[in-house]
Amino acid sequence: MNFTEFAFHPRIAAGIQAAGYTQPTPIQARALGPALQGRDIMGLAQTGTGKTAAFVLPILQRLIHRSEKSCRALIIAPTRELAQQTHQAIETLGRRTGLRSATVYGGVSIHQQIQNLKRGADIVVACPGRLLDHVGRKSLDLTRIEMLVIDEADQMLDMGFLPDVRRILACLPQQRQNMLFSATMPDEIRTLADNLLKDPVTVQINAAKPADTVQHALFPVAAHLKTPLLFKLLHGNDALSVLVFTRTKHRAKRLGEQLARAGYRSASLQGNLSQNRRQAALDGFRDGTFQILVATDIAARGIDVAKVSHVINYDVPSTTDAYIHRIGRTGRATCSGDAFTLVTEEDGAMVRAIDRVIGHRVERRTLPDFDYRARSQEPDTVRASAPRPRRAAPPSPNPFARKSASGRFAGNSPSYRGGR
């Protein structure tokens, strides 16, 4: 299938080309047709499937014939990062359309947003709380909305935003096209969908299994040696783009600092950061200024960074869904990637669950030149219990030395050391 089949306006086709898209992704192939006809859409898909363009392109196509500089399309997103990313996708795909998009989210000055809205925006990408602030101040008029998108609805639910979303829905005109996207379908989202969508076309992109382009490995290690093992894994590799997941904000922050102190170009992304610092961390990771980004699940939810070479689960995720979600950041499209998970003895149940979801026993790796019996090398990661020696799996070489199928990273570079 080709984008020409959808007969996009030439200015939108130019945007698609500028974005470098040649073929629609599966969700686009299935959702674009009905969405362009004005049908309501229920999209069961997560980040990484190309869902953003699946709703942005129909919005552009509908609005391009008549730019009124009043808000006619509203996209609601759970996090500032997702809102910002969606806005950027609109800017890229709509660069030749003359249509304007504005973002509305908390954590930054409302006055600048009011100025932006005054200048006229055809599309508003918003987080629920700040959107309601603007509605209350009458700085945003929602009475001309023709298209509504609720993105990552299940995340909206997890973050407690559904009451705000319902309040927003009450401000919208009845006659409009609705698109709802969610990675999962808990009961509350099913109810929201039933109330919101009229005769929807449901498009489900199964992401239950991770992409074949991802290679998985588990690294058994004592809890107090996780940080040294992480450093060992990273040692000497500068060309990589590594997303590290931790369970807590505190740990993300501390690990980011430890990596930076050791000379790595690293940053952390966690909920306690100011909006500016979050954006700087994300932008820096995207443009390669930071080689390593340490994040929590919540902070990283929805973020889209092309070409993550490695996802490292410093802490195991709490569910297999979270595992799939985390590693969905690597091995995208035609790139291959690696998903490494540090596992301790306490993680047995999760390890079995990961094996099940991958469909086979995931490779267990040990590093031949790592001292698994060492006492703590990181004073602040010491645990009360002494390390117990592990039964070693067959040794494998430096896990990063293997060149990926895409040849994306060159291998070892001497310039950054996991300096201990």
22-30, 167-175, 225-233, 279-287 -> range binding ligand AMP (CB under 6 A): 22-30
How big is the CA angle at 348 (ends 345 and 45), to the nearest 5 degrees? 130
- Residue 321 CB, nearest distance to ligand AMP (Å)? 16
C-alpha separations of 46 from 9, 202, 261, 342, 376 in Å: 27, 14, 35, 25, 39
- Residue 79 CB, nearest distance to ligand AMP (Å)? 13
Q: What is the DSSP string of 119-160?
A: T--SEEEE-HHHHHHHHHHTSS--TT--EEEE-SHHHHHHTT
- Residue 55 CB, nearest distance to ligand AMP (Å)? 9
User: 6 or 264: whose CB is closer to ligand AMP?
Assistant: 6
User: 47 or 336: whose CB is closer to ligand AMP?
Assistant: 47
- Residue 47 CB, nearest distance to ligand AMP (Å)? 5
43-51, 71-79, 134-142, 411-419 -> range binding ligand AMP (CB under 6 A): 43-51
- Residue 281 CB, nearest distance to ligand AMP (Å)? 18
- Residue 54 CB, nearest distance to ligand AMP (Å)? 7
User: 24 or 317: whose CB is closer to ligand AMP?
Assistant: 24
46-54, 140-148, 159-167, 401-409 -> range binding ligand AMP (CB under 6 A): 46-54
Q: What is the DSSP string of 317-336?
A: -SSHHHHHHHHTTBS-TT--
Burial of 276 (0-12, 13-18, 19+ CB in 10 A): exposed
CA distance linking residue 75 with residue 156, whole number of Å: 13
User: 104 or 207: whose CB is closer to ligand AMP?
Assistant: 207
344 scored as a contact of ligand AMP (CB under 6 A): no
Residues in 284-323 that interact with ligand AMP by CB under 6 A = 304, 306
- Residue 365 CB, nearest distance to ligand AMP (Å)? 29
**Whether 239 contacts 265, CB under 8 Å:** no
- Residue 27 CB, nearest distance to ligand AMP (Å)? 8
- Among positions 8, 25, 72, 180, the unique one binding ligand AMP when judged by CB under 6 A: 25
**Residues in contact with 348: Cβ distance below 8 Å, sequence separation at least 6, in sequence order:** none
Pairing of the two strands 214-220 and 101-104: unpaired
47-55, 150-158, 263-271, 406-414 -> range binding ligand AMP (CB under 6 A): 47-55
331 scored as a contact of ligand AMP (CB under 6 A): no
* DSSP label at residue 43: E
Residue 338, helix vs strand vs coil: strand
Residues in 48-67 that interact with ligand AMP by CB under 6 A = 48-53
CA distance linking residue 21 with residue 9, whole number of Å: 16
CA distance linking residue 317 with residue 218, whole number of Å: 13
User: 21 or 96: whose CB is closer to ligand AMP?
Assistant: 21
42-50, 118-126, 286-294, 321-329 -> range binding ligand AMP (CB under 6 A): 42-50
94 scored as a contact of ligand AMP (CB under 6 A): no
C-alpha separations of 198 from 127, 159, 192 in Å: 24, 26, 12
CA distance linking residue 263 with residue 155, whole number of Å: 35
Give the number of other CB atoms < 10 A from CB of residue 242: 26
User: 49 or 237: whose CB is closer to ligand AMP?
Assistant: 49
Amino acid at 133: D
- Residue 392 CB, nearest distance to ligand AMP (Å)? 39
CA distance linking residue 311 with residue 315, whole number of Å: 12
* Residues engaged in binding ligand AMP (CB under 6 A): 21, 23-25, 28, 47-53, 304, 306, 333
